Structure 1
Amino acid sequence: MTAGSPAPGGPAGGGHHGDGHYGEDLFEPKHPGEAERIDAAALAYDPVTTGRLRALGVAHGSRCLDVGAGTGTVTRWLLEEPGAAEVVALDRDTGGLAGLVDPRVRVLTADLTDESLAPGTFDLIHARFVLMHLRERRAIISRLAGWLNPGGLLVLADAVEVADPQDASSAYRRVMDAMWRALKSTIGTDTSSVPAYPRFLREEGLRDVAAELYCPPLVAGSPLAAFWSETWSRMRPDLEETGLVDGAVVDEALAYLASPGFAELGPGMLMAWGRRP
């Protein structure tokens, strides 16, 4: 997951409600622990992402676009698939891709919200934990769909919250809620439309549209627990500014993440896909 919310790949653009940008006001790529934070989430979500991409099939000679490529875990997987002829790895900050050397890779430093962006057309476009951070997400889905070749696949993945409705007062729940509020007020993150992704893909004229929801185990000692611990620690001032929590609550939630009794149903990942006729 990248962001204070899941986002292993990281946003490729800068949509927001105020003046904030992912990667500038929160989660700077050059922070010494940022690559490790992103990779911790990737360990939880990559097997599901790559399993779905493999099931959908990467046709021989495919030209692929990995939006919000982050540290390149999905890009590297695509390069290992026999069908990929070229992979374009797109992100606003491509420093995490510096070690990616392969003649089939084109690293593209670009802002997905730039309306002049024209990377070409593709047989597979994948964007994970990107659109939820961009205010223009619906329009960007239209643009991504427009970059598909005939028969091409668009695969979108973003976070959805599956909170326990009877747990509103625990430190874990209060900090998670504060995180979502802080992300929205700072950089514009909004997951409320994620369940509508299948409908959006149908509206774009795609066929074979389907979706699935995955909630990885969230237990102490897991990479995902480490991801949330680092995310909340880095966001502490923003969490407290929401007025939903204070320092003591954040400390309690962080201690809970590391405790033997920690077990929660964390935010899930909804994947939706469709194919251009």
Structure 2
Amino acid sequence: MAREEGTSAPRAPQGPGLYGERVFRPQDEGEAERIDLGALAYDATTLARLTQLGAGPGTRCLDVGAGTGTVARALLREAGVAEVVAVDRDIRFLTAEPVPGLTPLEADATSPDFAPGLFDLVHARFVLMHLPHPARMAARLSALLAPGGILVLSDAVDLTTENAPPTPYTTAMRAMWRGLRETIGTDVSWVPGCPRLLADAGLEEVAAEIHVPPLLPGSPISRFWAGTWDRARIAMVGTGLVDDAGIDEAQRRLESPAYAGLSPGMLTAWGRRPAAPP
């Protein structure tokens, strides 16, 4: 199997579609709400890390794959940054709620001509896991840092299937990852190696952490996974690992206070571009 340039993680061929095309289409009813459930589960952790790394007054930021813009708006509202350029291939959710300092940019960050300028902070959450060349993208985003700037990447790390006891929930998760890989090229197998990608891109002070929100009945993360399975249901059933009844049972487990399990985690890695010589 071919290996991704810059990392030893094996990569499957990219699926015939992209994120937001065959699944998770922004025009589908309820998609913004599904994205915002993920934001409720992860935004506090993301914003805490970004502010600890220096996001604050005077900072110019680039948010790649900005989605509904919850991180971009929080950086402006709570961290007081000067500007956030929020990039997405579809910016309908970003333009729906304009705020001072938020600059929506409809663009494909994987395009060779993507050149929005240099930034003090570049952030991308749950983006590289859906792309065929994560090492290449990490290097490209690193090149958008001003001297001394910080790149922060977050992607899903799977804690739910390989060594977990078999349950309807873990079976559904396994089917989801395989189904997304086969339809849109999603791959989280390389994510534990993300810090190495940043070091290989020439960044310094590289470090990482993992956040795992608890699976509680009615919690944002439990509702997020239930909604994600609904949208990925065709791809999941197509793997042969699960049927509709199995997905329904997994969703019932998420609603049960008796169920004990782990959500996939969010691994966040960061690194700093060396400062310009005096």
Is 1:107–2:92 an aligned residue pair?
Answer: no
* Residue 102 of structure 1: how far off its partner (Å): 3.0
After superposition, the Cα gap between the structure-2 partners of 1:261 and 1:61, relative to the gap in structure 1 and judged at 3 Å, is: same
After superposition, the Cα gap between the structure-2 partners of 1:52 and 1:68, relative to the gap in structure 1 and judged at 3 Å, is: same
* Residue 16 of structure 1: how far off its partner (Å): 6.8
One-letter amino acid of the structure 1 residue matched with residue 152 of structure 2: V
Is 1:263–2:260 an aligned residue pair?
Answer: yes
Equivalent residue number for residue 234 of structure 1: 231
Q: Choose from 11, 24, 27 the match for 2:24.
A: 27
* Residue 163 of structure 1: how far off its partner (Å): 2.6
Cα distance in structure 2, aligned partners of 1:117 and 1:249: 42
Q: What's the TM-score once normalised by structure 1's chain length?
A: 0.91
Cα distance in structure 2, aligned partners of 1:82 and 1:259: 37
Is 1:248–2:245 an aligned residue pair?
Answer: yes
Range with greater deviation from structure 2 (81-90 or 146-155): 81-90
Which runs of 5 or more residues in structure 1 are unaligned? Answer: 1-14
Number of residues paired by the alignment? Answer: 263
Deviation string 1:164-223 (CA, Å, 9 cap, x unpaired) is 655453111111000000000000001111111111111122111110011111111111
Q: Choose from 98, 116, 130 the match for 2:127.
A: 130
Question: In angstroms, what is the RMSD of aligned CA positions?
Answer: 1.6
Asked if the contact 2:237–2:243 (Cα under 8 Å) also holds between the matched residues in 1, the reply is yes
One-letter amino acid of the structure 1 residue matched with residue 264 of structure 2: P
Deviation string 1:136-175 (CA, Å, 9 cap, x unpaired) is 2211111100010001000000000113655453111111
Is 1:44–2:41 an aligned residue pair?
Answer: yes
Range with greater deviation from structure 2 (143-152 or 159-168): 159-168
Cα distance in structure 1, aligned partners of 2:16 and 2:244: 25
Equivalent residue number for residue 7 of structure 2: none
After superposition, the Cα gap between the structure-2 partners of 1:16 and 1:223, relative to the gap in structure 1 and judged at 3 Å, is: farther
Cα distance in structure 2, aligned partners of 1:82 and 1:192: 33
Q: Choose from 151, 156, 159 the match for 2:153.
A: 156
Identity, % of aligned positions:
54
Cα distance in structure 2, aligned partners of 1:219 and 1:61: 39
Task: Find the residue that maps to 2:196 and give its secondary structure.
Answer: helix
- After TM superposition, the structure 1 = structure 2 runs for residues 56-71 of structure 1, keeping only pairs within 5 Å, are 56-71=53-68
One-letter amino acid of the structure 1 residue matched with residue 190 of structure 2: S
Deviation string 1:84-124 (CA, Å, 9 cap, x unpaired) is 22110000111111233234221100111111111111000
Deviation string 1:246-268 (CA, Å, 9 cap, x unpaired) is 12211211111112212311100
Is 1:120–2:117 an aligned residue pair?
Answer: yes
Range with greater deviation from structure 2 (90-99 or 161-170): 161-170
One-letter amino acid of the structure 1 residue matched with residue 85 of structure 2: V
One-letter amino acid of the structure 2 residue matched with residue 185 of structure 1: E
Equivalent residue number for residue 3 of structure 1: none
Which runs of 5 or more residues in structure 2 are unaligned? Answer: 1-11
Question: After the TM superposition, which segments of 4 or more aligned residues of structure 1 sit over 4 Å from their partners?
Answer: none
One-letter amino acid of the structure 2 residue matched with residue 241 of structure 1: G
Is 1:210–2:224 an aligned residue pair?
Answer: no
